[in-house]
Amino acid sequence: MEILRVENLSKVYGKGETAVKALNDVSFTVNKGEFVAIIGPSGSGKSTLLHMLGGVDRPSSGKVYVENTDIYDLNETQLAIFRRRQIGLIYQFYNLIPILTVEENITLPLLLDQHKVDQKQLENIVNVLNLKDRLNHLPNQLSGGQQQRVSIGRALISNPSIMLADEPTGNLDSKNSGEIIDLLKLFNKKHNQTLIVITHDEQIALQADRVISIEDGMIAKDEVIRK
Long-range CB pairs of 75-83, under 8 A, 24+ apart, other chains included: 79/55, 81/113, 82/55, 83/54, 83/55, 83/56
Distance CA 186, CA 189 (A): 5
Region from 2-10, 116-124, 140-148, 154-162 binding ligand ADP, contact rule CB under 6 A? 140-148
C-alpha distances in Å from residue 202, one per residue of 47, 208, 223: 18, 10, 14
Under the criterion CB under 6 A, does residue 141 sit at the interface with ligand ADP? yes
Under the criterion CB under 6 A, does residue 97 sit at the interface with ligand ADP? no
Backbone angles phi, psi at 55, to 5 degrees: 70, 25
Residue whose CB is nearest to ligand ADP in the complex, by number: 143
Nearer to ligand ADP, 110 or 197 (CB): 197
For ligand ADP, the binding residues in 48-67 under the rule CB under 6 A are 48
The distance of Cα 148 from the centroid of its chain, to the nearest Å, equals 12
For ligand ADP, the binding residues in 153-182 under the rule CB under 6 A are 176
Under the criterion CB under 6 A, does residue 105 sit at the interface with ligand ADP? no
Under the criterion CB under 6 A, does residue 142 sit at the interface with ligand ADP? yes
Under the criterion CB under 6 A, does residue 20 sit at the interface with ligand ADP? yes
Q: How far is the CB of 167 from ligand ADP (least distance, A)?
A: 8
Q: How far is the CB of 59 from ligand ADP (least distance, A)?
A: 12
Q: How far is the CB of 227 from ligand ADP (least distance, A)?
A: 27
Distance CA 144, CA 173 (A): 9
Nearer to ligand ADP, 109 or 217 (CB): 217
Bridge partners (DSSP) of residue 1 are: none
Instruction: Kindly state the DSSP code that residue 60 receives in the 8-state scheme.
Output: S
Q: How far is the CB of 61 from ligand ADP (least distance, A)?
A: 16
Q: How far is the CB of 208 from ligand ADP (least distance, A)?
A: 17
Listed in sequence order, the residues at least 6 apart from 35 whose beta carbon sits closer than 8 Å to its beta carbon are 185, 188, 194, 195, 197, 207, 208, 209, 210
Q: Which residues sit at the interface with ligand ADP, rule CB under 6 A?
A: 13-14, 20, 22, 40, 42-48, 140-143, 145-146, 176
